[in-house]
A and B are shown apart, each in its own frame.
Chain A
Amino acid sequence: MNAPVPFPAPLEPLLTVDGVSKMYGDRIGCADVSFRLWPGEVLGIVGESGSGKSTLLRCLSGIDEPTSGKVRFRLEDDLVDVFSIPEPTRRALMRTAWGIVHQNPRDGLRMSVSAGGNVGERLMDRGDRHYGRIRESAAEWLSRVEIARDRLDDMPKRFSGGMQQRLQIARILVSEPRLVFMDEPTGGLDVSVQAKLLDLLRVLVRDLGIAAVIVTHDLAVARLLTDRLMVMKDGRVVEEGLTDQVLDDPHHAYTQLLASAVLSA
């Protein structure tokens, strides 16, 4: 529980996003989104269903190519344009330097592979070949996300929803990504399970200095996990700033509506 965020703060952003738009024919998925994300920083994207936040996340994380605009990622000293590099290079980047936590753990897990295998697979992607060490790492990560060691050889389909989500997070974080994308990471979970998961994410992000982009419609989740917030409506960013500023003193009509609609965020 130590290793604080490196100081002095890094000067170069990890992710540089300029004018990203995604059109589906005439319909706007998201329009003209720009921001910078630095190592150790957590950015939240909030808005109701259909506001374009998941579309944006798919563009940022290399899954869908934007109609226009650029997503660039800092790899060593280079700023790499995510959609102009060859497909295999992008896939490799997504498997090693990045992690994507899906809302539905079934989209992020291999359901026919054991829990240990799910975690170990990412290490093999990274080039690890020593079976004993991979198994040991996998076991250690399962215990970090509070899954008992003796479940290592069980299939994920025998896990509860909350356990599957924690397994997915272990699978992503084991390869020590520098940037993690999360789509509604606590969606569909019981409140008590949510609290566990939120605290786990908070500690992991702080201890590992990971940068993260989190899409959520839950303002309490945003408050707890994010440093900065972007509010989206109809595909556009209508307000952005420090998370506590945006939630406590919202200026845009839509943000005021969102902030006043929760009991206590």
Chain B
Amino acid sequence: MTLMLRAEHLSKAFVLHNQGGTVLPVLADVGLSVHAGEAVVLAGPSGTGKSTLLRILYGNYRPSTGSVQVLHDGRMVDIVTADPRLVLEVRRRTLGYVSQFLRVIPRVSALDIVRDPMLGRGVADAEATRRARDMLARLNLPERLWSLPPATFSGGEQQRVNIARSFVDPTPIMLLDEPTASLDAGNREVVVDLVADARAAGAAIVGIFHDEAVRDRVATRRLDLTAFKAAA
């Protein structure tokens, strides 16, 4: 199996300069390798740094030490040291991140939010529209909402727009931060299927899932972060 992501010796401490230079250590010396078709679920109680690790893998947080190599265009790129332009390119085509929350762009319709990443990857307009509609339907978002901006949608509806946007054209590596948090049972099932489809298509997945049942069905492997908790 192809190695898609390899993180080595990651540690992270936050330094709060405006609180007397308080240092908050979160992770110490975490390593992780993920191959195509695998889904690694991060485990451990709150505060063990699951979200922090996921954000480091995405290049959103900068680790204190370590590297995050991802397979992009047939070569390994270190997200930690790569030029910002390259990081954006890796995110556009290789590395996706699904958070619990939709960052609402004012006035943009749900359909356009879902189409947007595909257009950025050069998918033709009509094709992007067709796939976006199919995905919103699969996630049971009522059709009357598709042309509306999601600002006024319920939490679960916004979350489904967010999931549709990410899974309509899955990237080779997907990072999932509790994507099922505000969904009902039916829609959780859809997300479990979407993750399975992405894996079957060769995606490598790293995720955080609070729901035990979902976690057990999604995971091919678990990584418990309790052991890597940095000493405070």
Contact = CB atoms under 8 A, between A and B. Distances in A.
Interface string A1-21: 110110101000000000000
Contacts of B9: none
Interface in B20-75: 55, 59-62
A111 to B, nearest CB: 29
Interface of A: 1-2, 4-5, 7, 9, 38, 41, 195-196, 198-199, 202, 206, 224, 227-228, 241-242, 244-245, 248-249, 251-253, 256-257, 260
A2 B18 contact: no
Contacts of B60: 244-245, 248-249
Interface of B: 14-18, 55, 59-62, 84-85, 87-89, 105-108, 112, 119-122, 124-125
Given A198-B106, A241-B62, A256-B17, 20 more contacts: A1-B125, A2-B124, A4-B120, A4-B122, A5-B120, A7-B122, A41-B85, A195-B107, A199-B105, A199-B108, A202-B105, A206-B120, A224-B105, A244-B60, A249-B14, A249-B61, A253-B18, A256-B18, A257-B18, A260-B18
A252 to B, nearest CB: 7
A242 B61 contact: no
Given A195-B107, A256-B17, A2 B125 contact: yes
Contact of A245 (B18, B59, B106): B59
Q: What 5 pairs across the A-B complex have the smallest Cβ distances?
A: A253-B17, A195-B106, A249-B61, A199-B107, A242-B84
B61 to A, nearest CB: 4
13 contacts: A1-B125, A2-B124, A4-B119, A4-B122, A195-B106, A199-B105, A199-B106, A202-B105, A241-B84, A242-B87, A242-B88, A252-B17, A256-B17
Nearest to B56: A249
B62 A249 contact: yes
A253 B14 CA distance: 12
Nearest to A200: B107
Given A4-B121, A248-B55, A38 B105 contact: no
A1 B119 contact: yes
A228 B55 CA distance: 17
A252 B153 CA distance: 37
Contacts of B14: 249
A227 B84 contact: yes
A248 B119 CA distance: 27
A233 to B, nearest CB: 13
A231 to B, nearest CB: 13
B59 to A, nearest CB: 7
A245 B107 contact: no
B175 to A, nearest CB: 13
Contacts of B105: 199, 202, 224
A253 B60 CA distance: 18
Contacts of A198: 106
A251 B88 contact: no
Nearest to B62: A249
A253 B112 CA distance: 38
B86 to A, nearest CB: 9
A41 B83 CA distance: 13
A1 B18 contact: no
A40 B29 CA distance: 37
Nearest to B61: A249
Given A2-B119, A228-B84, A256-B18, A9 B89 contact: yes
Contacts of B120: 4-5, 206
A190 B153 CA distance: 23
A136 B87 CA distance: 41
Nearest to A253: B17
A260 B121 CA distance: 34
A1 B112 contact: yes
A67 B161 CA distance: 51
Given A1-B112, A251-B15, A252-B17, A245 B121 contact: no
A210 B61 CA distance: 28
B90 to A, nearest CB: 11
A198 B105 CA distance: 9
A38 B88 CA distance: 13
A107 B15 CA distance: 43
A214 to B, nearest CB: 16
Contacts of A242: 59, 84, 87-88
A227 B88 contact: yes
A196 B106 CA distance: 7
Given A2-B119, A4-B119, A38-B85, A245 B62 contact: yes
